[in-house]
Amino acid sequence: MIGRKKTENAPMQGINLINEGTRIVGDLVAQGDVRIDGHLKGDVNTRARLAIGASGQVEGQLHGSMVDIAGEVKGDVVVSGVLTLRKTARVRGDLTVSKLVIEEGAMFSGQCTMTDMVKTPMHGARATEEAAG
**pLDDT tens digits, 86-117:** 999 999 999 999 999 999 999 999 999 998 87
Q: What is the pTM of this model?
A: 0.80
Distances (CA, A) of 103 to 5, 16, 52, 65: 45, 25, 15, 19
43 lies in some domain: yes
119 lies in some domain: yes
Q: Which residues pair with 51 in a beta bridge?
A: 35, 68
7 lies in some domain: no
Domain tally for the chain? 1
SS3 130: helix
Ranking 51-60, 68-77, 107-116 by mean pLDDT, the lowest is: 107-116
3 lies in some domain: no
Domain residues for the domain of 115 are 15-124
Q: What is the pLDDT of residue 129?
A: 43
51 lies in some domain: yes
CB-based contact 85:69 (threshold 8 Å): yes
133 lies in some domain: no
CA distance 54 to 67: 14
129 lies in some domain: no
